Amino acid sequence: MKNLIYAISSGLLLALAWPTYGLPILLFFAFVPLLYAEFKVRNSEKKFIKWKVFGLAYLSFFLWNLITTYWIYFSTAFGGAFAILVNSLLMALVFMLYHIVAKRTGFSAASAFLISIWMVFEKLHLAWEFSWPWLNLGNAFSEFQNWVQWYEYTGTFGGTLWVWLGNIAVFKAVLLYKEFKDKNLIYRGIFKLSLLVLIPIGISYLLLSQVEEKGETMEVVILQPNINPYTEKYNTTDTRIGELLLKLSEEKVSDSTQLIVAPETVFADGTVLSNFEQSEAAFFSRQLINKYPQANFLSGISFYERFNDPAKVREQSNQIGPMDWYDDYNSAFLMNAEDIPQLYHKSKLVVGVENFPYQDILKPILGDVMIDLGGTVAMKTTQEDREAFVLNNQSFTGPIICYESVYGEYVTGYVENGADFLSIITNDAWWGNTQGHQQHLSYAKLRAIETRRDVVRSANTGISAFINQKGEVTKSLGYEKQGSIKSDIHLNSNKTFYVKHGDYLARVAQFLALFIFLFAVVKYKRNRPGI
pLDDT band at 71 (very low <50, low <70, confident <90, very high): confident
Measured distance CA(282)–CA(287) in Å, rounded: 9
Tell me which residue of 302, 259, 281 sits closest to 394, measured CA to CA.
259
CATH topology for 217-347+382-493?
A: Nitrilase/N-carbamoyl-D-aminoacid amidohydrolase (3.60.110)
Distance, CA of 149 to CA of 112 (rounded, Å): 25
List Cα–Cα distances, 75 to 67, 229, 320, in angstroms. 16, 10, 26
Residue 366 has pLDDT above 80, yes or no: no
Burial class (CB in 10 A: 0-12, 13-18, 19+), 213: middle
Q: Could you give the angle at the alpha carbon of 62 between the alpha carbons of 59 and 65, nearest 5°? A: 150
Question: Which residue did the predictor score with more confidence, 226 or 521?
Answer: 226
Confidence of residue 362 (pLDDT cuts 50, 70, 90): low
Rounded Cα distance between 40 and 49, Å, is 10
- Give the separation between CA 354 and CA 264, rounded to whole angstroms: 14
Q: What pLDDT was estimated at residue 53? A: 93
Enumerate the domain spans of the chain. 2-211+503-527, 217-347+382-493
For residue 121, give Cα distances in angstroms to 16, 94, 418, 507.
22, 7, 30, 11
pLDDT over threshold 60, residue 514:
yes
DSSP state of 306: E
| pLDDT in the model for residue 142 | 96
pLDDT in tens, 300-332: 999 988 888 888 888 778 888 888 888 888 999
Q: How would you write 395-438 as a 3-class SS string?
A: CEEEEEEHHHHHCHHHHHHHHHCCCCEEEEEECCHHHCCCHHHH
For residue 310, the model assigns a pLDDT of 86
Q: Does pLDDT of 358 surpass 70?
A: no
Alpha helices in 292-394 (DSSP H): 359-366, 369-372
Contacts of 386 (CB under 8 A, 6+ apart): 347, 398, 410, 413, 414, 416, 417
CB 174 within 8 A of CB 189: yes
Work out the pLDDT band at 31, boundaries 50, 70, 90: very high
Q: What is the pLDDT of residue 150?
A: 97
Cα–Cα dist 458/464, whole Å: 5
Residue pair 239/280 in contact by the 8 Å Cβ criterion:
yes
pLDDT of residue 479: 92
374 has a pLDDT exceeding 70: no
Q: What is the rounded average pLDDT of the residues 80-101?
A: 92
Q: Is the pLDDT of residue 375 over 90?
A: no
Where residue 371 falls among pLDDT bands split at 50, 70, 90?
Answer: very low
In tens, the pLDDT along 123-170 reads 999 988 788 899 999 999 999 999 999 999 999 999 999 999 999 999
- What whole-number distance in Å separates Cα of residue 386 and Cα of residue 413? 6
What mean pLDDT value characterizes the chain? 89
Q: Is the peptide bond before 20 cis (omega within 30 degrees of 0)?
A: yes
The set of residues, in sequence order, having a beta carbon less than 8 Å from that of 35 and lying 6+ positions away, is 167, 171
Alpha helices (H) in 70-182, listed in sequence order: 77-102, 107-127, 151-154, 156-180
pLDDT above 50 for 357: yes
* pLDDT at residue 36 in the model: 96
pLDDT, mean of residues 248-269: 92
Cα radius of gyration (the chain): 25
